[in-house]
Amino acid sequence: MKILGLSLLVVLTGCSAASADNQGQRFVLVADPSGISKDIPAGALALDTQTGQLCYTVQGAFTAGSPGIGMCTALAKKPAGKE
């Protein structure tokens, strides 16, 4: 339940309100698209709608298997065009 709560918090706070041209939610929760790992909990992956990158909404042991996927919070802090 904590993971779901944290996931929703990240998704809700991940919306970049500073941008006047923001037309929707930036981070959208997705299921594991690769289907490789059964250890990734529901709500742990999101798609960044601005960059098209997958990102983790929470950290855990399951993140070690995919070093190419970063945290959504890190993506949200990057200036536009710097992804």
Residue 83 domain flag:
no
pTM: 0.62
Residue 57 domain flag:
yes
Residue 6 domain flag:
yes
What range does the domain containing 61 cover?
A: 2-13+25-77
pLDDT tens series, the chain, 83 aa: 555 545 544 555 554 445 555 568 899 999 877 776 778 888 899 999 999 999 999 998 888 877 788 999 999 998 766 55
Rg (CA), the chain: 13
State the distance between the two ends of the chain, measured CA to CA, in whole angstroms. Answer: 31
Residue 70 domain flag:
yes
User: 3-class SS at 15?
Assistant: coil
Residue whose pair of structure tokens reads 């798609």 in the numeric block: 47
The pLDDT value recorded for residue 17 is 47
Residue 59 domain flag:
yes
Residue 45 domain flag:
yes
Residue 18 domain flag:
no
User: 3-class SS at 18?
Assistant: coil
Domain count, the chain: 1
Torsion of CA 60, 49, 34, 63, to 10 degrees: -10
